[in-house]
Chain A
Amino acid sequence: MSIDAGTIAPAAPVGPEAAQPETVQAKRSHGTLPISLATIAAIVAGWSLASAYGIVSPLFLPSPLTVLKAIYNVAINGFVDSTLAQHTLASLLRIFAALAASVAIGIPAGLAIGTSRIGKGILDPVVEFLRPLPPLAYLPLIIIWIGIGEASKITVIALAMLPPIILSTAAGVKSAPADFTNAARSFGAGRLQILLHVILPGAIPSILTGTRIALGAGWSTLVAAELVAASQGLGFMIQSAAQFLVTDIVIAGIIVIAAIAFLLEILARLLERWFVPWAAHR
Chain B
Amino acid sequence: MSVLSLQSVSLAFPVDRDSRRTRLVLDGITLHLASDEFIAVIGRSGSGKTSLLNLAAGFLKPTSGRISVDGEDIGGPGADRAVVFQDDALYPWLNARDNVAFPLKLRGVAKQERRRRAGELLAKVGLESAGDKNIWELSGGMRQRVGIARALASEPRFLLLDEPLGALDALTRARLQQFLLNVWSESRTGALLITHSIEEAMLLATRVVVLAPNPGRIVADIPAGFGRQLLAGKPLQEIKDSPEYRRLHDGLTGLIHTDSEEAA
Instruction: Give A residues with C-beta under 8 Å from B.
Output: 1, 16, 177, 179-180, 182-189, 193, 197-198, 201-202, 204, 276-278, 281-282
Contacts and interface: CB of A to CB of B under 8 A. Distances in A.
Contacts of B136: 16, 278, 281
Contact of B89 (A180, A193, A281): A180
Contact of B169 (A1, A177, A183, A186): A1
Interface in B87-131: 87, 89, 91-93, 102-103, 105-107
B245 interface: no
B77, B82, B103, B151: most-surrounded residue (chain A CB, <10 A): B77
B106 A186 contact: no
B59 interface: yes
Interface in B220-240: none
A185 B91 CA distance: 14
Nearest to A198: B91
Nearest to A277: B134
A187 B91 contact: no
B160 interface: yes
Contact of A188 (B85, B107, B169): B107
Contacts of B153: 187
Contacts of B81: 186
24 contacts: A16-B136, A177-B87, A182-B83, A182-B85, A184-B106, A185-B58, A186-B57, A186-B58, A186-B77, A187-B102, A187-B103, A187-B150, A188-B79, A188-B103, A193-B106, A201-B91, A202-B91, A204-B93, A276-B93, A278-B93, A278-B136, A281-B92, A281-B136, A282-B92
A188 B91 contact: no
Interface string B160-183: 100000000100000000000000
A185 B77 contact: yes
B78 interface: yes
B154 interface: yes
Given A180-B89, A182-B89, A187 B106 contact: yes
B77 A182 contact: yes
Given A182-B89, A186-B59, A193-B106, 11 more contacts: A179-B87, A182-B83, A184-B102, A184-B106, A185-B59, A187-B79, A188-B103, A189-B106, A202-B91, A278-B134, A281-B136
Contacts of A276: 93
B57 A182 contact: yes
Given A1-B169, A281-B92, A183 B79 contact: no
Given A1-B169, A183-B85, A278-B134, A188 B57 contact: no
Contacts of A202: 91, 93
A201 B94 CA distance: 10
Interface in B124-160: 134-136, 140, 150-151, 153-154, 160
Given A189-B106, A281-B136, A183 B76 contact: no
A282 B89 CA distance: 11
Contacts of B169: 1
Interface string B8-51: 00000000000000000000000000000000000000000000
A68 B76 CA distance: 68
Contacts of A198: 91
A184 B140 CA distance: 21
A70 B155 CA distance: 70
A128 to B, nearest CB: 23
Nearest to A187: B103
Contacts of A179: 85, 87, 89
Contacts of B85: 179, 182-183
A258 B93 CA distance: 34
| Most A-side CB within 10 Å, residue of B93, B105, B153, B154 | B93
A281 B79 CA distance: 29
A35 to B, nearest CB: 33
A180 B91 contact: yes
A186 B60 CA distance: 12
Nearest to B140: A1
A160 B219 CA distance: 61
A183 B103 CA distance: 9
A197 B77 contact: no
B103 A177 contact: no
